[in-house]
Amino acid sequence: MVPLDDVQGLILRSYGMDCAAFFLLRVKDAAAARRTLGSLSVMPGTVWEQKPPFCVNVALTYEGLAALGVAASSLDSFPREFAAGAFSRCAEVGDTGSCSAESWEYGLGQPGLHALVLLFAQNDEVRDAQTASLREKLISSGAWSEIATLPGDVLPGSVAHFGYRDGFSQPTIDCGLENPFPDKQPIAPPGEFLLGYPSQFDQFTYPVPVPDELGRNGSFMVLRILEQDCAAFDALLKQAQVSYGIDGELLAAKIVGRWRNGTPLSLSPDSDSPAPPLEASDWNQYDYVPSAAVPNAFNDRRGARCPIGSHMRRANPRGSTIAGDGASKHRIVRRGIPYGPPYDSSKPDDGVKRGLLGLFIGVSIKDQFEFLMSEWINGGTFAPGIYGTTDPLLGNSTDGDNTFVIPREGSKPIVISKFPRLVTTRGSAYTFLPSMSGLRFIANLS
């Protein structure tokens, strides 16, 4: 059994809060910084009787653990990719060209970040009050210096900046908490997302960093600051009919694999409003091909409904024929919130930055986040029909040099060459989410 009260809640559940503030911090006074960690009310994974007004979670980088006084023997027991840091793993992840670490913001392109304190709040009044309180406790006390604080806000209609509803597909973790949108993939063992339990791989448990009190029930989290070019996306959809012979909304659906209202193409290939309407609980209950779990699925093995190269089908191919032992061994927990104001198509060149503050969680950054990025998002050989292409949203093809292929039943595919870059990495960090015991362990170091 997973002790829910020892696990940071962010790993196990989506908070569903409208506002956030991510503090990017650096240790100023190690003893004081440890004390503040011990005094923060960090949200555990216990079942809520009532949704709280706000939640706080804490993640630390490798340099952060060192700066807080964690012993070398303990630091050595953490995975290499975590120790190396996001700025050293750009080649693995595909952060090249305009996405490379040299151009990241907030100094994230080099060592310096020690901690992320993540505040999620039900509304902006609560966020403002808690931001002030945290700033007082963390910064004014002289414990930490503030590199930056990044606000995030859910947009009207609960959509991300390109207008898609998001966040439906999350693995169901075998820990007793309910998944609001369960899928038909196997339930993930706790060890796929928490240190100290048998993993998704045969007879294998990821090594727990030592001491056990620090490592067990922890997990790893990748922060991604992903800037979205709404004007380019808007222009792409507007020119779709004339340039590529496809309706703009249908192109939007083909890019992601869902219509922008969340209806998956696999269940409704021609309309975002099928009749009879889909229940929200159906939105994640599909497969791309008939499988043991979804035997009556439409056989879309060539992607005539949902392109094999679409964002969703790359990020989680489900039952599709792919290289390797199936899609269920490389799943990831996704949290995140948009930043920047909504895009106004009447002001395409408003110069305002907007995008997504993405958080990607798993027991192994290498086998989950990095595998996903290198093999599925940026890879062109794990599945048929996508050689030489990358993900239309997150792919690392040289700017303007991607190709997006939209297969069609009974006619030639639509091939969009010179597919524009829509998302640019502006920063990333590899962090460790200690357990509640782990945070106490660090707080009590001397």
137, two tokens = 């406790």
Cβ burial, residue 132 (10 Å; 0-12/13-18/19+): exposed
Task: Specify the 3-state DSSP secondary structure of 144.
Answer: strand
Q: How many CA atoms lie within 13 A of 230 on its CB side?
A: 24
* Near other proteins by CB under 8 A: residue from 164, 220, 382, 432: 382
Single-letter amino acid code for the residue at 402: N
Footprint on residues 266-295 left by other proteins (CB under 8 A): none
The answer to whether 120 contacts other proteins (rule: CB under 8 A) is no
Omega before 211 within 30 of 0, i.e. cis: yes
Of 6 and 370, nearer to other proteins (C-beta) is 370
Question: Shortest approach of other proteins to residue 321 CB, angstroms?
Answer: 5
Selected range binding other proteins among 47-55, 131-139, 268-276, 383-391, rule: CB under 8 A = 383-391
Q: Do the bridges between strand 411-419 and strand 402-408 make them parallel or antiparallel, or are there none, so unpaired?
A: antiparallel
> Smallest Cα–Cα separation from 68: which of 36, 107, 42?
36
- Look up tokens 């303990």; give the residue: 74
Binding mask 386-425 for other proteins (x = CB under 8 A): -xx-------------------------------------
CA distance 97 to 243: 27
Question: Shortest approach of other proteins to residue 326 CB, angstroms?
Answer: 8
**Which residues fall within 8 angstroms of residue 46, CB to CB, at 6 or more apart?**
4, 5, 9
Question: Shortest approach of other proteins to residue 255 CB, angstroms?
Answer: 22
Question: Shortest approach of other proteins to residue 46 CB, angstroms?
Answer: 32
213, two tokens = 């009190």
CA distance 425 to 95: 7
* Near other proteins by CB under 8 A: residue from 56, 251, 265, 383: 383
Question: Shortest approach of other proteins to residue 81 CB, angstroms?
Answer: 12
Question: Shortest approach of other proteins to residue 444 CB, angstroms?
Answer: 32
Q: What share of the chain is helix, strand, coil (3-state, %, to 5)?
A: 30, 20, 50
- Look up tokens 């997150």; give the residue: 394
* Near other proteins by CB under 8 A: residue from 324, 341, 348, 400: 324
> Smallest Cα–Cα separation from 77: which of 220, 193, 212?
212
Selected range binding other proteins among 145-153, 236-244, 251-259, 385-393, rule: CB under 8 A = 385-393
* Near other proteins by CB under 8 A: residue from 57, 61, 374, 396: 374
Binding mask 167-196 for other proteins (x = CB under 8 A): ------------------------------
Single-letter amino acid code for the residue at 241: Q
427 strand-pairing partners = 225
Cα-Cα end-to-end distance for the chain:
32
Selected range binding other proteins among 126-134, 187-195, 197-205, 231-239, rule: CB under 8 A = 197-205
Single-letter amino acid code for the residue at 192: E
Selected range binding other proteins among 62-70, 155-163, 201-209, 416-424, rule: CB under 8 A = 201-209
The answer to whether 385 contacts other proteins (rule: CB under 8 A) is yes
Question: Shortest approach of other proteins to residue 202 CB, angstroms?
Answer: 5
DSSP H/E element including 312: helix 311-315
Question: Shortest approach of other proteins to residue 26 CB, angstroms?
Answer: 33
Binding mask 297-316 for other proteins (x = CB under 8 A): ----xx--------------
The answer to whether 367 contacts other proteins (rule: CB under 8 A) is yes
Q: Report the interface residues with other proteins, using CB under 8 A.
A: 201-204, 301-302, 321-325, 329, 367, 371, 374-375, 379, 381-385, 387-388
